[in-house]
Chains A and B, each alone.
Chain A
Amino acid sequence: MSWPEVLNEVIKAMEQFINFVKKEFAHVWRDKKTLLILFGMPVIQILIFGFALTNEVKNSEIIVMDQAKDEASQQIINKIAASRYFEIKNIAMNNVQIEAAFKQGKIKMAVVFPAGFNEALLHQHKAQIQILADASDPNTATMLTNYVSSIIQDYQRSIDKTAAIPYSIVPEARMLYNPQLKGAHNFVPGVMALVLMLVCVMMTAISIVKEKETGTMEILLVSPFSPLLVILSKAVPYLILSLINVASILLLSVYVLDLPVNGSVALLFAESTLFIITCLSLGIFISVKTNSQQMAMLISLMGMFLPTVLFSGFMFPIENMPYPLQLISNLVPAKWFYLIVKSIMIKGLGFMSIWKETLILGGITIVLLVVSLKSFKIRLA
C-alpha cells in the first residue's frame, strides 16, 4: 500500500468512528429517563453524603444514674450535658432500666454516680464514677469513655484551683488541611471515586452486553468495521457524560460544601479523564466476559460495590488490613483516584506528587484493554 492509500484508509476509519460515536450518542440522548438518572444521581449523592457522612462521634445518647444527687454529681452532669458529644437521654433510676435501654439500642453509654459522691470526694479525697459503654461499637465506646474521663478531669482540676500544677507539658494540636474536622474533606473525594467508578463501569458493561443479548452485536461484528472501533464508539459518549458529572460534582463541592480546590483544576480534570477511561475499560472487560445484562450488573454492582468502598481507603485505613488484602487493594482503581483527588483538591499538590498513582491507573487501563481485546478476538474466531 502506498502512503496516500494508507492515509485514505485512516481517514475512512476515522469517519466511520465518528459516525458510530454519533449513533451511540443519539442512543443515549434518546433515553431521557436514564439521562436524568445519570446526571441527577451523582449530584444528589454528593450533596447527601457530603453533608451527612462524618467520622466524628457526637450527640451520642447516654443515660445518667445519679444515686448521689449532690452538688458535685450535679455539676459534672451539667458539664456532660453541655458537651456536644453527648445528649443526656434520661436520668435512670435503677440497673434494670439501664439494661433495658442498652438492649433497645437507645443509649450508647451509662454514667453511674454512687451514693454519697460529694461526701467521699470532700472527706476521703477519693470518689468513684462508673462508666458503662456499649462496646458492640468498639471505637465509639473508646472515644466516649475518653470524652467523659476528660470532662471529669476538667472538673477535678476546677475544684482544686489552689494547686497550680508544676512541671506541665502542654501539647498544642494543629489540624492540618481540615481545621474544622469536616467530614466532607474525606468523604467527597471518596464518594467521587466511588460514584464515577460504578457509574462508568455499569454503563459500558451493560450497553455492550445488551447488544450481545439482543443479537445486534453479531450484526455489528460481521460488518466490515473493526470490532475495536465498535466498542470504543460505545465508550466515548459515556466519557463525555462522566466529565460533565465531574464538573458538576466539583462545582457542588466548592460552592455548596465549601470544599477547597487547592491544586490545579486542569490537572484534576486530566486525572479524572484518565480514571474514567480506566473505569470504561473495566466495563468493557466485564462485558466481554459476560453474556447477559443480569450477569454484567451482578458483577459490576454486587461484586464491586462493597470492595470498592472498603478497599479505596476512604472508610478504613489500608495499612490496618492484613498484607494480602493490602495487595488486593492495589488492584482497585478507586484507591488510586481517591489518593489523587485528595492530593490535588485538599493538599494542593502538583503532578510530581501523584505521578506514581497516575502511572498505575494508566497501567491498569492498558492491561484491561489488551485483555479485553484479546478475548474479544477469540470469540470472533
Chain B
Amino acid sequence: MRTIRFLLEKEFRQIFRNKAILLLIMVMPVMQLIILPLAANYEVKNINLSVVDHDHSSYSQKLISKVTASGYFKLTGYNSSFNEGMKLVETDNADLILEIPHGFERNLVREGHQHLFIAVNAINGVKANLGGAYLGAIVKDFNNSIRLQLLPSSKFNEPAVIEVTSSNLFNPQLKYKFFMVPGILAILVTMIGGFLSALNIVKEKEFGTIEQINVTPIKKHHFILGKLIPFWMLGNVVFTLGLLVSWLIYGIVPLGNLLVLYLFASVFLLAILGFGLLVSTFCDTQQQAMFIMFFFMMIFILMGGLFTSIDSMPEWAKIVSRFNPVSYLIEVMRMVILKGSGFKDILPQLVTVGIYALILNAWAIWNYKKRN
C-alpha cells in the first residue's frame, strides 16, 4: 500500500507540474464538446435545389413554389437547360436537379399521366436519400391537390385507407444534438484515457527513468496501478466536466441513473487505459506509441457507431465492432442518457467491457514483465 501511495504521489506531482498539459487535458475536451455538436448537424434542411423548367406553365410554377415553401429546399438555380443545372451540381451548388419536361401541364391534364425527372448528387448517400424522399413526398402532395381539383369528388372514391400514426420515442422533438452530444463526450473521454496512458510509460522508457524504477523493489503490478489510478481519476474528471457541459449548454439531463453511468464509464476507462498500457509495452518511442494509438483510435471512433450506424455495416464489420470497446460506451451513453436504461439493461455491455478491462490489463502486465 505504502509503495502505491508513493508512486501515486510521484505520478500526480508529474501531472500537476506540467500545467500546460493539464490545462490542455481539461480545457480541450470541454471546448470541443461546446463547439462540435453544433457542427455535427444532420438535420435535413438547406438541400440545394436547381430547377430546370421547360414547361413554364401554371402547374410548374405551383409545383416549384410548393417545393421552395416546404422549408427543406433552397432554390439555388433556375436554369433553362439540364446542363446548366449539372454545372451547379459539379460546383457543389446544387444537390438535386428537378427537371419539369415540356408539356407537363398539358400531358397531365389530357393524358392523365406525366413524368418528372429528379437527378440527385449521390456521392453523399444521406443527402441523396433524404432529399430525394422529401422531394418525392412534396410531389405526391402536389399530385393529390391537383387530383382533388380536377376530379369531381363523387367520381373518385378513395379506396380503403390505412392510417399510419407514428410516434418518436425518447427524443420527440427530433433534436440531433441530443443524439450527438453523448457520443462526442464518449469519444473525448476515450481519447484522453488512451493517449495519455499510451504515452506515459513509453516516455519513461525513452528517457530511461523506467530503468531506475526497474531496479527498485517496486512490484510490477504496483507500477501499473500507479500509472492507472491517476489517469483513471483524470478520465472521470473529464467525464464529469462533459456531463456538466451537456447539461448547461445543451440542456441534456440523463434520464437514467447517474450511478449506472459512472459505473460503466469507470469500467470502460479501465479497459481503455489497459489498452494504452498494452500499446506502450510494445513500443520503444513515443512516436511509435502515438502512431499505433492513432491507428486504433481512428478505427474505434469511426466504427463506433457515432457517425454511421453499425447496423448498416457488412457482417464482418459488425463482428469487428463487437471487439470495439468504444462502441459499447457510445451505445450505453445514449441508452442511459436518452432512454433512461437501467443497470439491468446495460449489464451485457458492462460485463463485456469488464472482461476487456481484465484481459487488456493482464496482458499489459504480462508483456511488461517479459520485456525486463
Contacts and interface: CB of A to CB of B under 8 A. Distances in A.
A94 interface: no
A178 B122 contact: yes
Given A137-B179, A317-B46, A45 B298 contact: yes
Given A141-B174, A297-B199, A130 B166 contact: yes
A236 B192 CA distance: 31
A266 interface: no
A66 to B, nearest CB: 14
B126 interface: yes
Interface in B168-207: 168-172, 174-176, 178-179, 184, 187-188, 191-192, 195, 199, 203
A302 B112 contact: no
A185 B165 contact: no
A294 to B, nearest CB: 6
A2 interface: no
Contact of B122 (A175, A301, A305): A175
B355 interface: no
A106 to B, nearest CB: 9
| Majority SS at the chain A contact face | helix
Contact of B312 (A34, A54, A176, A310): A54
A138 B125 contact: no
B41 A306 contact: no
B26 to A, nearest CB: 12
A126 B160 contact: yes
B162 A152 contact: yes
A131 interface: yes
Contact of A37 (B175, B295, B311, B338): B295
Contact of A168 (B43, B113, B188, B314): B113
A363 interface: no
Interface stretch (A57-65, A219-227, A238-246): A57-65
Contact of B126 (A55, A59, A137, A353): A55
Contact of A121 (B162, B175, B188): B162
A156 B174 CA distance: 28
A160 B162 CA distance: 12
Given A135-B174, A137-B309, A353 B91 contact: yes
Interface string A92-115: 000000001011110010000000
B347 to A, nearest CB: 9
Interface stretch (A8-16, A18-26, A342-350): A342-350
Nearest to B126: A55
A29 interface: no
B38 to A, nearest CB: 6
A315 B307 CA distance: 7
Interface residues of A, number: 119
Given A128-B165, A168-B114, A306-B188, 13 more contacts: A53-B303, A103-B345, A125-B160, A125-B161, A127-B163, A132-B167, A135-B174, A176-B119, A293-B287, A305-B297, A306-B187, A309-B302, A325-B39
Interface of B: 20-21, 24-25, 28-29, 32, 35-36, 38-46, 48, 89-92, 108-109, 112-130, 132-133, 135-137, 139, 142-143, 146-147, 150-151, 156-172, 174-176, 178-179, 184, 187-188, 191-192, 195, 199, 203, 283-288, 290-292, 294-295, 297-299, 301-303, 307-309, 311-314, 317, 320, 331, 334-335, 338-342, 345
14 contacts: A53-B313, A58-B311, A60-B309, A102-B169, A125-B161, A136-B338, A138-B176, A146-B133, A169-B139, A176-B121, A316-B39, A317-B127, A320-B43, A320-B45
A-B residue pairs, 5 tightest by C-beta: A135-B168, A52-B317, A160-B159, A138-B174, A175-B122
Interface of A: 31, 33-34, 37-38, 41, 44-45, 48-49, 51-61, 100, 102-105, 108, 121-122, 125-143, 145-146, 148-149, 152-153, 155-156, 159-160, 163, 165-179, 181, 183, 185-186, 191, 194-195, 198, 202, 206-207, 210, 292-295, 297-299, 301-303, 305-307, 309-311, 314-317, 319-322, 325, 329, 339, 342-343, 346-347, 349, 353
